[in-house]
């Protein structure tokens, strides 16, 4: 029956290739969606990842930055900086808001920086200054290219005009970008005098970040303190949760489409070779052997489709990012393994219909004219 399987696929080469291509398209659609979702989720936490303090201090009950609000009295961070083992505490203000550039409003994370302190500012620049003064703003370079707002242009944050003095790299995301203004300007916008949003705590070499975080929470009233890796993980998980239902739904749609394509192809193959199957049954070939042949056929088609989708995903993703830099793609091993598991399930499900057809083949039809 192995020979019959290969012959069946070979004699219907156009149908087989079309099926494998359709399956590849279904899988590629899901892989691309997951790559965009994972890439954007990763880009959302780019700012906090690059800051790399030992500890983040924030309002009690807050555990991340994405879609969160935090206000801490500045005297509490003064208390933290006085603790043994603390080398420096950098204060920032932070708000999720709309920045108007050109004729568009862009959802943006605006970070207020203490003048003269570059610790919490942009980590890479395309041009201009990384340290905004009063009335000045640093925006992502891709943001500027998309909106037409370059150096010297005017943009608005909460109806306050700012002059673009710097274009940063690595701070753009389709979901949100990160812009930087002076601490004082953001205090005025938020009417948040005497408060900060987060404190970036740098410890002396050799200090235990987890132990110091517990000490800060115990000694400073109503603040949360988290080691950097935990804070990044919380933020990334929050970003991932926002779109996981959409990705799961698209995965189901893509898988269902692949099942339909493979099942239809296998069904056509079985229908066209019913007489051969009847002869095989009449000659004593068991249903189990024929079932195995049908399942093998669907597995081969599914594997070919998945391999094509995998090759395209790995080969095309860098090109898409090159020609469409606004889109951040990230193909993870986990996504590929998940899709491989889905492909196996798809093959098994798709084999059910043609396997049922095989069971209905009557050996007597082999002797009918």
Residue from 142, 117, 111, 151 nearest 131 by CA: 117
Specify the pTM. Answer: 0.72
288, pLDDT greater than 90: no
Check residue 271 and give its pLDDT: 66
Which residues sit opposite 160 in a β-bridge?
Answer: 157
Specify the pLDDT at position 188. Answer: 93
Which residues on neighbouring strands pair with residue 194, listed in sequence order?
none
Q: What pLDDT sits at residue 18?
A: 75
Q: Once rounded to an integer, what is the mean pLDDT over residues 265-280?
A: 66
pLDDT score of 61: 93
Average pLDDT, the chain: 82
Residue 174, classed as helix, strand or coil, is coil
Closest residue by Cα to residue 314 from 331, 334, 300: 331
In eight-state DSSP terms, residue 204 is P
**Bridge partners, 95 (sequence order):** 110
Angle at CA 148, nearest 5°, toward 144 and 149?
A: 60
Q: Do 290 and 283 touch, CB atoms closer than 8 A? A: no
- Average confidence (pLDDT) over 252-259: 73
Reply yes or no on whether the pLDDT at 367 is more than 60.
Answer: no
pLDDT, residue 129, reads: 94
* Model confidence at 74: pLDDT above 80: yes
Maximum Cα–Cα distance across the chain: 98
Q: What are phi and psi of 2, to 5 degrees?
A: -60, -40
pLDDT tens-place string over residues 146-160: 888 889 999 999 889
Confidence of residue 133 (pLDDT cuts 50, 70, 90): very high
264-to-20, 340, 349, 353, 354 alpha-carbon distances in Å? 12, 21, 12, 9, 8
| DSSP per-residue letters across 222-280 | TEEEEEHHHHHHHHHHHHHHTTHHHHHHHHHHHHHHHHHHHHHHHHHHHHHTHHHHHHH
Q: Taking 80 as the threshold, does the pLDDT of residue 282 lie above it?
A: no
Instruction: Assign 124 a pLDDT band (cuts: 50, 70, 90).
Output: very high
- What is the band of 136 on the pLDDT scale with cuts at 50, 70, 90? very high
Q: Measure the CA–CA gap between 318 and 80, rounded to whole angstroms.
A: 44
Residue where the block lists tokens 């929470």 = 217
- Between CA 288 and CA 171 the distance in angstroms is 58
220: three-class secondary structure by DSSP: coil
The confidence score (pLDDT) of residue 42 equals 76
Q: What is the mean pLDDT of residues 300-304?
A: 80
- As a whole number, mean pLDDT of residues 162-185 equals 90
Question: Contact 206/73 with Cβ under 8 angstroms?
Answer: no
Helices and strands per DSSP (H, E), number in the chain: 13, 12
Q: How far is Cα 36 from Cα 321, in angstroms, rounded to an integer?
A: 10
Tokens of 315: 């080969």
Give pLDDT, residue 39: 75
Q: Note the pLDDT of residue 157.
A: 92
Quote the CA–CA distance of 42 and 203 in Å, as a whole number.
Answer: 26
pLDDT tens digits, 29-50: 777 777 777 777 777 888 999 9
What is the pLDDT at residue 325?
A: 62
User: Which residue has better confidence, 323 or 1?
Assistant: 323
């Amino acid at each position: 029956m192995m020979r019959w399987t290969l012959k069946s696929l070979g004699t219907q080469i156009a149908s087989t290739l079309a099926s494998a291509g359709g399956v590849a398209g279904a899988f590629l659609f899901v892989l691309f969606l997951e790559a965009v979702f994972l890439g954007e989720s990763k880009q959302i936490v780019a700012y906090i990842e690059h800051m790399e303090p030992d500890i983040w201090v924030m309002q009690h009950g807050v555990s991340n930055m994405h879609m969160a609000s935090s206000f801490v009295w500045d005297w509490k961070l003064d208390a933290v900086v006085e603790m043994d083992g603390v080398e420096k505490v950098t204060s920032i203000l932070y708000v999720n808001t709309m920045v108007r550039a050109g004729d568009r409003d862009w959802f943006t994370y605006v970070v207020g920086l203490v003048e003269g302190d570059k610790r919490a500012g942009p980590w890479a620049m395309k041009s201009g200054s990384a340290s905004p003064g009063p009335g000045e703003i640093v925006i992502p370079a891709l943001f500027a290219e998309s909106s037409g707002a370059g150096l010297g242009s005017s943009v608005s944050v909460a109806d306050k005009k700012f002059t673009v003095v710097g274009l940063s790299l690595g701070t753009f995301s389709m979901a949100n970008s990160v812009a930087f203004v002076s601490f004082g300007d953001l205090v005025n916008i938020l009417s948040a005098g005497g408060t900060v949003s987060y404190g970036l705590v740098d410890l002396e070499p050799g200090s235990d970040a987890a132990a110091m975080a517990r000490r800060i929470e115990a000694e400073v009233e109503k603040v949360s303190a988290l080691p950097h890796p935990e804070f990044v993980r919380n933020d990334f998980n929050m970003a991932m949760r926002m779109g996981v239902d959409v990705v799961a739904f698209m995965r189901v749609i893509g898988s269902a489409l692949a099942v339909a394509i493979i099942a239809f192809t296998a069904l056509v193959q079985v229908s066209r070779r019913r007489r051969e199957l009847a002869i095989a049954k009449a000659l004593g070939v068991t249903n189990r052997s024929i079932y195995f042949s049908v399942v093998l056929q669907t597995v081969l088609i599914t594997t070919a489709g998945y391999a094509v989708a995998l090759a395209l995903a790995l080969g095309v993703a860098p090109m898409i990012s090159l020609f469409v830099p606004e889109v951040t793609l990230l193909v993870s091993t986990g996504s590929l393994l998940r899709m491989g598991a889905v492909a196996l399930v798809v093959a098994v499900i798709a084999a059910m219909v043609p396997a049922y057809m095989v069971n209905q083949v009557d050996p007597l039809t082999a002797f009918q004219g």
